Amino acid sequence: MAILVCGRLIVAVPVHASEMAEASTLGMLFGLLQWMLSWGGLVAQWLGDGCSLLRLPLNVNIRFE
């Protein structure tokens, strides 16, 4: 379910931003949005990899797969 919400946000935020932004800052805004999406994906990947290696007592493992 969360992947559907993230997919909708990835589509909806740039559309909303393009309607609200001025023409002079539109390119910078889309570059910033793409930069934030890229860094968010990188952080999520590293967090998932790190948590998959984390071993907790009582056989409770945190996995984001």
Task: Look up the pTM and report it.
Answer: 0.57
DSSP class per residue in 17-63:
HHHHS-GGGHHHHHHHHHHHHHHHHHHHHHHHHHHHH-EEGGGEE--
- The residue with tokens 């023409």 is 23
- Angle (CA) 26-7-14 rounded to 5° is 10
| Structure tokens, 42 | 């990188």
The tens digit of pLDDT for each residue in 15-56 reads 887 788 888 888 888 888 889 888 988 998 888 887 777 666
pLDDT, residue 56, reads 61
Whether the Cβ atoms of residue 62 and residue 56 lie closer than 8 Å to each other: yes
